[in-house]
Amino acid sequence: MAALINVVWALGLALWSYAIWRIAPALYALLKPSPLRYIPGAPAPSWLFGNLKQLSSVEEPIIQEGWVEKYGKTIKFKGWFSRDTLFTMDTKAINYILTHSSDYPKPEASRFNLSQFLGNGVLVVEGEQHRKQRRIINPAFGPAQIRELTGIFVDKSLQLRDVWKNEVLAHGDSARIDVVKGLSKMTLDVIGLAGFNYSFDALNVHGKPNELNEVFRTIFGTAGKRGSVFGMLKFIFPPLRLIPTERSKRVTKAQRDMRRIGMQLIAEKKADVMRASAQKKKIDNGLDGLQNRDLLTLLIKANMATDLPEDHRLSDEDVLAQVPTFLVAGHETTSTATTWCLYALSHALEVQQKLREELLDIPTDHPTMDELQELPYLDAVIRETMRVYPPVPTAARIAGIDDVIPLNEPYTDIRGAVHDGIRVEKGTAIDVPLLALHRSKELWGEDALEFRPERWESIPDTVHSVPGVWSHLMTFLGGPRACIGYRFSIVEMKALVFTLVRAFEFELAVSPQNIEKQGVVIRRPFVKSEKHKGSQLPVHVKLYKRE
Ligand code: HEM
Ligand SMILES: *[C@@H]1O[C@H](CO)[C@@H](O)[C@H](O)[C@H]1NC(C)=O
Ligand SMILES: *[C@@H]1O[C@H](CO)[C@@H](O)[C@H](O)[C@H]1NC(C)=O
């Protein structure tokens, strides 16, 4: 008995010391003067939540925009426990933060959340490890590789078209369809086939439940839930992660299954690369001989190249971590972007018709990547969608070092002093605006808030300062941590919009005022009166008949 009490005591003490060890630096960070203390910003309504509740009470970043109008481009707001967070619309500062990605990593909390499910994939790791992974993975996402995958994008678009067509025909002339469901299945099927040559077959209504699909649902069906207190505690006290809960047991099993399936895929791809190289005698001599054209095969081939320095090679663990990473990064982002495109088209009916006329000029249902890329109005519609409805609205970063961030436009602090740089300290939180930059009238002109694809015929010079990797937009971020899959998703979206707008006429089934944009990580549409149903977009879909 006494021994037991001693053990309990010792355990308690250990946990307590650990808590102090963990919390002390955080407490110190909260109590010491913030390097942002003289940067202007609005007062926080709550100590605990800072400005966070206020900021998430509206759909668009209009509160930040109001502050920027009042105080200037460089401001701060308060996060959890009223911690100062830097917010700047200065494109030079943003460019600096994004290009110095090793000095401005992701905050530990968001990395922890991601790494729970993604392992140490390229979305999660930092520094040298990230550079190493990116070097091996980059070539798989090049234009020539995406060209090879376009057939998958088009085939799956046609399959979705047929699913919706059958639904419409079952109702006569037109049906009310939640487009989120179909688009989400379609993009899952695509990332399965294009990413790993794995068939989820999510669009197949008669198909059997698929193993990886179930695993994926288990992991992300529960991960999507709003943060619980226990979840938060587990972040602060890693030992608590060992305590099994109903959910954690299911997730652990799913992770085990994911691992097994991933390892099996890797073994298959390796065998393919070995076989092809035995045939060709030389492994790094083009794709010829490979049966698989998927991203994972290309990655493994690059990783097995004989001329690769040994310390550049990824371990099996690292390769494995890319499987859930591609699934997560490539699936709902692309389906959400396409959903917003249908949303925009289904209340800008003249844009929809003008686009349809361009698309119907192409005499085939099976366009190549080049044919898709050469359609100017389709291109403008996709760019405008990505500008007005970027699926990821902001990116969180912290300063990894004490630094001064350079500015285009000096800011005046609350004491009246003018600064041409922002002083930050290791640990300073930064909120990088994506959506807010796309809404800037200074950059895009007075009609910045309108959906108007025609603007892409001649965009203002001011937008050249936006440090995005694609199209002067922040949608895919910029710098060394920009989205690796942007070409992939643009061509996939074009294949979808090409196929669907040729086949159907779309009209919103609820008033636009009844659609709400929600989500911190990915902004999705919800029907206000049916929030409990999750993200959805009901649209009247009608077969298009050519006159
Ligand atoms: C419309 C679709 C997409 C959007 C809006 C999007 C957006 C983004 C953004 C904003 C980031 C940066 C996140 C951050 O660092 O905070 C990112 C990173 C990433 N994306 Fe995408 N993405 C899309 C599609 C895809 C696809 C199709 C794939 C893969 C097949 C993909 C793979 C990745 C990966 C691996 C990263 C991490 C890159 C790194 O940290 O080096 N994404 N994406
Ligand atoms: C991470 O997950 C926890 C618990 O699930 C949640 O409270 C927190 O908001 C999440 N943080 C981020 C940055 O997503
Ligand atoms: C998938 O595998 C099959 C059979 O090995 C092969 O014929 C096909 O070309 C592969 N597809 C891709 C995209 O790798």
pLDDT in tens, 480-536: 999 999 999 999 999 999 999 999 999 999 999 999 999 878 999 999 999 988 899
pLDDT for 245 equals: 74
Answer yes or no: are the C-beta atoms of 538 and 527 closer than 8 Å.
yes
Gap between the Cα atoms of 384 and 440, Å rounded = 14
Q: What is the three-state SS of 86-97?
A: EEECCHHHHHHH
Instruction: Classify residue 46 by its DSSP letter.
Output: B
Ligand 2: which atom is nearest the Cα of residue 110? 13
How far is CA 520 from its chain centroid? Answer: 11
Our answer on whether the CB atom of 291 is closer than 6 Å to any ligand 3 atom is yes
Identify the nearest ligand to the CA of 197 by its number. Answer: 3
Average pLDDT in the 328-341 region?
95
Residue nearest to atom 1 of ligand 1 (CA): 334
- Mean per-residue pLDDT over the chain, rounded: 91
Tell me, in angstroms, the distance from the centre of ligand 1 to residue 261's CA.
23
Identify the nearest ligand to the CA of 101 by its number. Answer: 1
Q: How many Cβ atoms are within 10 Å of 16's Cβ, its own excluded? A: 10
Ligand 2: which atom is nearest the Cα of residue 107? 13
Residue nearest to atom 3 of ligand 2 (CA): 227
Tens-place pLDDT, residues 129-168:
999 999 999 999 999 999 999 999 999 999 999 999 999 9
Tens-place pLDDT, residues 54-95:
998 888 999 999 999 999 999 999 998 889 999 999 999 999
Which of 246-255, 344-353, 368-377, 451-460 has the least mean pLDDT?
246-255
Across the chain, which distance is largest between two alpha carbons, in Å?
90
Residue nearest to atom 2 of ligand 3 (CA): 292
Average pLDDT in the 448-466 region?
97
Our answer on whether the CB atom of 338 is closer than 6 Å to any ligand 1 atom is no
Residue nearest to atom 18 of ligand 1 (CA): 483
Answer yes or no: are the C-beta atoms of 356 and 24 closer than 8 Å.
no
Q: Which H or E run includes 147?
A: helix 143-170
Residue nearest to atom 17 of ligand 1 (CA): 483
Which of 25-29, 230-234, 263-267, 476-480 has the least mean pLDDT?
230-234
Average pLDDT in the 205-213 region?
73
pLDDT for 290 equals: 87
Long-range contacts of 350-354 (CB under 8 A, 24+ apart): 351/381, 351/451, 351/453, 352/501, 352/505, 352/506
Tens-place pLDDT, residues 359-386:
999 999 999 999 999 999 999 999 999 9
Asked if the model's pLDDT at residue 288 lies above 80, the reply is no
What superfamily would CATH give domain 137-391+475-543? Answer: Cytochrome P450 (1.10.630.10)
Q: What residues form the annotated binding site?
A: 483
Identify the nearest ligand to the CA of 226 by its number. Answer: 2
Asked if the model's pLDDT at residue 411 lies above 60, the reply is yes
Q: How many Cβ atoms are within 10 Å of 277's Cβ, its own excluded? A: 19
Pocket test of ligand 3: the residue of 197, 272, 288, 293 to mutate, having most ligand atoms within 8 Å of its CB, is 197
